């Protein structure tokens, strides 16, 4: 949904390009000590760390290190999933000692006909693994049932409800695996979700206070733990795991990719405000709106920029640049004005300067492309015709991107 939460006084949402306002982006290639970043080594050794730090201190919070207590239990293997085209594995990733603490339920599909380790797309889902497919073997997500209970909503399982967003068969047929888990396994998505999520249950173990990171931080950290597991699975090509996410989980994918260089490529689908879109552009959702509607997504410091986004020491092109030199895909949708498609394009455009240090080609154009016409090389962009969503068209571009740059 893309409605503004009511109950907050907000200026009207701007959808007029003429009223976006004048802004200047913070320089990406000048270090804190005012020296120019001239090479990939200057970037890697100095500036990259500074930029990552800006996002930690002002926006998403800290990103804890690996989880020493993590261990996995295989719950179910189906050797003839998707009409025999795939093997599915359901793995419970425990995040603390024993089996009473927090866990991630990972669903992994692997093409059945391959003897080689395969590249894998990994992406969190919104409503539990059982929502991505009608596949009867997928275990119903307990954490999703917990969330429905919290919402006092009907708790009947909703198998396959988001199936259109997960073209598993197409991925398998193109030689990819898919690894997905419910984002609520890490933290429920509401203002008090941290109380029952890993920011509380793992605070002691990870040496971090709940307020020192965020919901997006917790979800992104979960993606890194999924990658820890994937790197141990003999069917997975450990250096070819692509992190992808839609909308708030697109923001999450970008943050995971920024912190964890083991992800081979990063894909943002309609991530919008707080994701790929430039914050300084007053178009669609704004920092003020998002931090009032979803305060838990960011650390509280981010709210201090509500009245003047121009005082932010960073903007989102700098987050996108943290994916460099790895392949980066930013996608928008024509009806998704709330996410500011042109702002997403410009975010990608302004990240090119870092890719250039690595002799990697970016979008190859200054012009917003026509709908359904992908542009670019190591950085890619498209604006799909239609709504805020992730559809087969989007996935087919990600497959092509993976084929050309990751496989
Ligand atoms: C909206 C939010 C967006 C986007 C979206 C989603 O309500 O304002 O930033 O994250 O939700 O996740 O679908």
Helices and strands (H, E) in the chain, number of each type: 12, 10
- pLDDT (0 to 100) of residue 154: 80
Determine whether 184 is exposed, middle or buried from the number of CB atoms within 10 Å of its CB (0-12, 13-18, 19+): buried
Contact 401, 269 (CB under 8 A): no
Nearest atom in ligand 1 to 289's CA: 8
Enumerate residues 6+ apart whose C-beta is below 8 A from 86.
Answer: 109, 110, 111, 112, 168, 172
Q: Which of 88, 123, 141, 247 is catalytic?
A: 247
- pLDDT (0 to 100) of residue 113: 85
Does residue 224 have an active-site annotation? no
* Residue of 5, 6, 253, 285 with the most ligand 1 atoms within 8 Å of its CB, for mutation: 285
Q: What is the pTM of this model?
A: 0.97
- For CA atoms 28, 30, 32, 38, give the dihedral sign: positive
Contact 388, 247 (CB under 8 A): yes
Token duo for residue 77: 């293997």
120 bridge partner residues? 177, 241
Cα(127) to centroid of ligand 1, in Å? 15
- Radius of gyration of the chain from Cα atoms? 20
Would you write out the chain's pLDDT as a tens digit for each of its 407 residues?
444 555 556 678 999 999 999 999 999 999 999 999 999 999 999 999 999 999 999 999 999 999 999 999 999 999 999 999 999 999 999 999 999 999 999 999 999 988 899 999 999 999 999 999 999 999 999 999 999 999 998 877 689 999 999 999 999 999 999 999 999 999 999 999 999 999 999 999 999 999 999 999 999 999 999 999 999 999 999 999 999 999 999 999 999 999 999 999 999 999 999 999 999 999 999 999 999 999 999 999 999 999 999 999 999 999 999 999 999 999 999 999 999 999 999 999 999 999 999 999 999 999 999 999 999 999 999 999 999 999 999 999 999 999 999 99
Does residue 388 have an active-site annotation? yes
248 lines ligand 1 (CB under 6 A): yes
- pLDDT (0 to 100) of residue 10: 66
- pLDDT (0 to 100) of residue 11: 75
273 lines ligand 1 (CB under 6 A): yes
- pLDDT (0 to 100) of residue 199: 98
- pLDDT (0 to 100) of residue 2: 47
> Residues 329-347, buried b or exposed e (16+ Cβ, 10 A)?
bbbbbeebbbbbbbbbbbb
290 lines ligand 1 (CB under 6 A): yes
Nearest atom in ligand 1 to 246's CA: 12
- pLDDT (0 to 100) of residue 9: 61
272 lines ligand 1 (CB under 6 A): yes
């Amino acid at each position: 949904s893309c409605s503004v939460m009511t109950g907050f006084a907000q200026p009207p949402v701007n959808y007029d390009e003429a009223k976006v306002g004048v802004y200047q982006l913070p320089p990406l290639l000048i270090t804190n000590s005012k020296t120019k970043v001239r090479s990939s080594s200057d970037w890697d050794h100095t500036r990259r760390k500074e930029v990552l730090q800006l996002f930690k201190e002002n926006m998403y919070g800290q990103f804890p290190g690996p989880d020493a207590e993590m261990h996995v239990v295989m719950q179910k293997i189906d050797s003839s999933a998707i009409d025999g085209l795939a093997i599915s594995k359901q793995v419970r990733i425990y995040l603390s000692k024993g089996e009473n603490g927090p866990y991630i339920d990972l669903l992994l599909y692997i093409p059945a006909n391959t003897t080689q380790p395969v590249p894998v797309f990994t992406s969190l889902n919104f409503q539990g693994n059982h929502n991505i497919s009608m596949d009867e073997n997928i275990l119903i997500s307990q954490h999703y049932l917990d969330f429905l209970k919290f919402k006092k909503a009907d708790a009947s399982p909703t198998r396959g409800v988001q199936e259109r967003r997960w073209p598993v068969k197409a991925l398998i047929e193109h030689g990819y695996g898919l690894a997905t888990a419910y984002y609520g396994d890490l933290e429920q998505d509401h203002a008090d979700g941290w109380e029952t999520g890993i920011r509380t249950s793992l605070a002691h173990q990870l040496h971090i206070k709940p307020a020192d990171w965020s919901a997006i931080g917790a979800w992104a950290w979960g993606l890194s733990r999924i990658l820890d597991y994937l790197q141990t699975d003999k069917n997975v090509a450990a250096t070819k795991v692509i992190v992808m996410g839609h909308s708030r989980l697109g923001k999450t994918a970008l943050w995971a990719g920024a912190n964890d260089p083991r992800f081979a490529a990063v894909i943002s689908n309609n991530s919008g405000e707080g994701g790929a879109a430039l914050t300084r552009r007053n178009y669609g959702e704004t920092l003020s709106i998002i931090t009032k509607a979803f305060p838990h997504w960011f650390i509280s410091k981010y709210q201090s920029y509500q009245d003047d986004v121009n005082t932010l020491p960073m903007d989102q092109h700098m987050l996108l640049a943290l994916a460099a030199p790895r392949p980066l895909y930013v996608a928008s949708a024509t009806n998704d004005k709330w996410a500011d498609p042109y702002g997403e394009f410009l975010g990608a455009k302004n990240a090119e300067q870092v890719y250039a240090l690595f002799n990697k080609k970016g979008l190859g154009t200054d012009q917003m492309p026509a709908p359904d016409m992908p542009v670019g090389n190591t950085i890619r962009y498209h604006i799909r015709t239609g709504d805020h969503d992730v559809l087969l068209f989007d996935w087919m571009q990600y497959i092509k991107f993976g084929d050309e740059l990751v496989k």
